[in-house]
Structure 1
Amino acid sequence: MSILLKRTSIVHNIKVINVGLSSIFEIGDSLSISPRSKAWALQRQFELFYGNEGHFRDPVFTRPLPKPDFDEHVCFVRYNESPTIKVNNIFVTAAAASSVLHIGSTQLIDSESRVKHIRQLLHGQEANDE
């Protein structure tokens, strides 16, 4: 079991425009952060909705994600000359799709974002990016 490092983070100024889609903006220490996001998007050339479309039973949402297997033991020595982390300015335009903007220490971050995006075009038509 690892020990959460205790350091003080000093940020003079932070400006965040948008945090969405299961994202987290955390100030302070945490043991564990686990944001999750699932999105099912259907884009059609013409507006048409049947009312019963979309489900999260698709394998893109249900199959287990492969996790790395860490079997190496790593030994290191860390010397922090100062007990504080100092930052003058932080500017973030957006944090989306299970991302984490964290000022502080954390022991474990386990993020997951799954998106099924379908584009349906008329037969023989090209997508128009205007």
Structure 2
Amino acid sequence: MKTLVAPRILLAEDEEAMRTYLARALTNAGYEVCAVESGVAALPLLESGDFDLLVSDIVMPEMDGIELAQHCAEISPRTKVMFITGFAAVSLRASREQPSAKVLSKPFHLRDLVLEVERMFENAREAQP
């Protein structure tokens, strides 16, 4: 009998309240979540951990989410990427530079986040041979 393992999500969000809400919603939905405050803090976790999904704010100090996603593609190419942002122009840039990434625009309901994450994992399962 195969044991189901909860998908692992790395969450990078610089705003503490938002990070807490997102992490709680994803944990309550059954995911294993590691939440950090910056792209710089996320990098070593990507290098040492095995994450199924990176959920990253785009606009963060030191290293933005797009740069983090580029590092993620090199370090852990099988990790999917979802961006969250409150800036429409930044959302367009993310779509151009990371076309396979999902972009979720703020404000959004936590239910919408969980549904999008579930959809990403469903699509990945369907794509497997």
TM-score range, shorter chain: under 0.3
Structure with the greater relative contact order (CA < 8 A, sep ≥ 6): 1 or 2? 1
What is the TM-score when the length of structure 1 is the normalising length? 0.23
Structure with bigger gyration radius: 1
Indicate the structure with greater helix content.
Answer: 2
Indicate the structure with greater strand content.
Answer: 1
What is the TM-score when the length of structure 2 is the normalising length? 0.23
